[in-house]
Amino acid sequence: MRRPFSFASCCSALLALSLVLLPPAAPAAADDPPAAGSPPQAATPPVAAAPAAPDLQAVIKRAKAKVFPALVHIQPVYEEYRGGSKVLGTATGSGVIISPEGFVLTNYHVAGRARKLICTLSSEARLSAELVGADPWTDIAVIRLHLKELKGEPLAWASLGNSDRVEEGDFVMAMGSPLALSFSVSFGVVSRRDRPLGQDMNIESFQKTGLFNTWIQTDAAINPGNSGGPLVNLDGEVVGINARANTSAEAIGFAIPVNIVRAVADQLIAKGKVTRSWIGVSWQPLEEFSEHFKAGSGRGVLVAGVVDASPAAAAGLRPGDVVVEFDGSPMNGRFKKDLPGIARRVADTPVGREVVVKFVRDDREQEARLKTEELERAAGEDFECKDWGLTVKEITRTMARELSLEDANGVLVTGAKAGGAASRVGLENGDVIRELSGAAVTDLDVFRHLAAKAPRGPKVRVLLRVLKGGRHPRLVLLPAGDAEPAPVAKETPAPAENAEKPDPVQ
């Protein structure tokens, strides 16, 4: 997901480096005669020889050798719901082994929805893997290699560094499989150590990512297929996991800081998921609002919105409040880059804890008590009704808010197959099914059950109560079997645009 590093700029940088490291000119020899008429000079003490400058090429090679053997080329096979059908798709991604047990770090968008994982190691050994856990909020997933398939071959793994020590200008390498060109290395510098990318990045429908972290921006080339691969410093440590690129620009890529990755991976390995607290507040940096909201010294963070029926709403918080302390810790969100840390501070609070929130309203500091709730999944599960040519999605509370639905009851239509029963009666994306055969559809499990026991036959019609576009009530008679269902063909994965052919390893 990145652009190539400029050779010209690299040469300029190395030239400047070499000039800086040139030793000073040698002093005149002690027995050189002084110039005529010059005053006598004291003897010059001997100068110790300057240490030899490290060979940058050698440093790069040593660092690469520590991580490159731990690279993994990942080919996920995943389910995709489109056009009213469930299909299998393939793609190409990257990963890095981090333990002798075969745990591999990668991105959620690489492996989080995978039905099957095919992994190739740098030794060209090919083996399968299983998903241990995935966290869409940070775009991190952990998979585990089936090491029995290695048949005694040695396994290499990489060390994780400390992303808090990363600084702008540090040399880094991005490793992975850009455009399916497996086991590639690109070189560049850290352009920004804590780049905020906003709170509205969707990793999939209704699921946001990046709320809890800033990003390491680099000009090391990162392209589609690099996702999940390591960003490596010159000590041979992983300092980030490659995840994003600005494809409309040159040499702008982003990695998730490894300190965030480590904390997420520890929970995924221990329990298969990440548990976070939620209070129902959206934050905004104070910036120029500090004087308007009378926040005094500029400390605190601005409450931009409060979700109805949330812990924050129950505690009386409202937009325009400036929160200065949460559970005993100061909250300082003056700039956009501070917001992920604010969100992480709330999320890391144990679920169900009663906390004191101190805030400023109308130039007066106040406090409120609230009990945190667990942050739920934002995107619901998908389901295919093959007989009806229909795909639907579970509605979460987050989705209900985004769609402006009165509640989370029903299922959301995500596709109607052309020529299928659902399409012929006008069902389309965005409709909400609230009743099936006179029974209320409260959630996806209920819909599955009702759909499974619905009558079938050439002349049978199933009555649905639908909200068209999630707004307008309508009754629909769905044909429940105008013809015998077609035989189920063996599903063949659809190749991804940049998918790499299985052999040979490139």
Annotated catalytic residues are 109, 139, 227
Residue 245 to residue 121: CA distance in whole angstroms: 25
The tally of CA atoms less than 13 A away on the side-chain side of residue 478 is: 29
Residue 310 to residue 366: CA distance in whole angstroms: 19
Strand intervals (E) in 285-431: 301-306, 322-326, 329-330, 354-361, 364-371, 373-374, 382-385, 390-394, 411-416
CB proximity list for 8: less than 8 A, separation 6 or greater: none
Q: Is 160 within 8 Å of 98 (Cβ atoms)?
A: yes
Phi and psi, residue 270, nearest 5°: -75, -40
Strand intervals (E) in 83-229: 85-90, 93-97, 103-106, 114-121, 126-135, 140-145, 159-160, 171-176, 184-195, 201-204, 207-209, 215-218
Could you give the C-alpha distances from 171 to 168, 237, 242, 377, in angstroms and in order? Answer: 9, 12, 15, 37
Helix, coil or strand: residue 121: strand
Residue 446 to residue 92: CA distance in whole angstroms: 36
Q: Judge residue 119's burial from the number of C-beta atoms within 10 Å of its C-beta, 0-12 exposed, 13-18 middle, 19 or more buried.
A: buried
Q: Is 280 within 8 Å of 151 (Cβ atoms)?
A: no
Residue closest to 227 by CA, chosen among 140, 150, 119: 140
CB proximity list for 379: less than 8 A, separation 6 or greater: 136, 204, 205, 206, 207, 393, 396, 398, 399
CA dihedral angle for residue 255, residue 343, residue 209, residue 351, rounded to 10 degrees? 120
- Which amino acid, 61? K
Which token pair is 473? 């009530």
